[in-house]
Chains A and B, each alone.
Chain A
């Protein structure tokens, strides 16, 4: 293994708790279906209870904010999201299908970029919604919340195939100066303690999620950035095709886990 001595201490930390990975064949989840567990199950009982409590789950504040934005007219024609889509409840099930390939645009879209696109093409004249802005987080959380409890079911065949394959590769490739892949932590070593954390199986079914570490709600791409930083790899920008491809792979890996958004996380 070629690792700079400067990182010896950090590597030792991993070596202490982690056995190094073997390789995986393509299109295998690596975790038997019976053992697939949501990130929630790795939290303390306190935090799990708070996630289910409508007055303690801080992420729900963004659902409320999203509902207000949903009915606020924007742009030169004064259309709100509700003008075209009706009540937010009409979005039930939508989040389970994302990321999804958009044939007309010829690219893979996650919910955030889908909503950004609605804003720019269907509410022209309104200010665009920046990735990770409070507005986009609130709308994404509102839309995803409509599918709470529903199982993920993304399409990985047809036009999504190539994007999926790239996401899958990225998940299994050693990253960063520590040379550790996503799979080494989230497939090979889930359930193990890393400092104050327990490593989960690495699904994004709770996002946007409220993290205590952030003291606010953030997107799945913000979470991915933390994991990239963790292995001293340069993260892709939020909303980038690379992150959306990874997100698609994560959604498929989650098999039929239900959406928990907005989840609480450490």
Chain B
């Protein structure tokens, strides 16, 4: 970002936290609906371990409509040992599952990138499923600011 705005001054109220552009009517996901979605995707007894995943998200997103997200998972990506799936969950978006990526040894590296929508400041959770069926988990916080030009255009 341009100036040396720190996360603390932002939270201190100088910057309005975004009103989500995604929806005004739909019920937003709550952390519970996100955990429901995760249980559905991963199975009721899934116990992902922390680690191996690096999520790159801006600390302060320029606009909630398109936030650049990179995910890298630490894996040799061989036929015997590779990442099969990368799952992305949002605690606030109306649909808690944001994306599923499917990889394999042909990927060479476990590295993906896309642009996501965020219904407000929140924690994004990423789960990686490995070829040995083990699950890994990580999360990252994003603060969403509101643009100045008040649009409606």
Contact = CB atoms under 8 A, between A and B. Distances in A.
Interface of A: 42-44, 46-47, 50, 191, 193-199, 212-215, 218, 222, 225-227, 229-230, 266
B65 A212 contact: yes
Interface residues of B, number: 23
B148 A196 contact: yes
B153 A44 contact: no
27 contacts: A43-B62, A44-B2, A44-B58, A50-B68, A191-B2, A195-B15, A195-B16, A196-B60, A196-B62, A196-B63, A196-B146, A196-B147, A198-B3, A199-B148, A213-B63, A213-B147, A213-B149, A213-B151, A214-B153, A226-B150, A226-B151, A226-B153, A229-B149, A229-B153, A230-B149, A230-B150, A266-B62
A193 B65 CA distance: 20
A58 to B, nearest CB: 9
A212 B150 contact: no
B66 A197 contact: no
Interface string B56-79: 001010110110100000000000
Given A212-B65, A266-B147, 11 more contacts: A43-B62, A44-B2, A46-B58, A195-B16, A196-B145, A196-B146, A196-B147, A197-B149, A198-B2, A213-B149, A230-B149
A43 B15 CA distance: 17
B148 to A, nearest CB: 4
B1 interface: yes
A193 B149 contact: no
Contacts of A225: 153
Contacts of B146: 195-196
Nearest to A194: B148
A42 B148 CA distance: 14
Interface string B8-28: 000000011010000000000
A133 to B, nearest CB: 16
Contact of A212 (B2, B58, B63, B149): B63
B3 A226 contact: no
A106 B3 CA distance: 46
Contacts of B151: 213, 226, 229-230
Contact of A213 (B5, B16, B65): B65
Interface in B117-153: 145-153
Contacts of A227: 149
A266 B3 CA distance: 16
Nearest to B3: A193
Nearest to B60: A196
A230 B148 contact: yes
Contacts of B15: 195-196
A70 B62 CA distance: 34
Contacts of B66: 212, 215
B147 A197 contact: yes
Contacts of A215: 65-66
Nearest to A227: B149
Contacts of A47: 62
Which of B2, B15, B148 has the most A CB atoms < 10 Å from its CB?
B148
Nearest to B56: A46
B2 A195 contact: no
A193 B5 contact: yes
A43 B138 CA distance: 28
Contacts of A213: 63, 65, 147, 149, 151
A193 B147 CA distance: 10
A213 B145 CA distance: 12
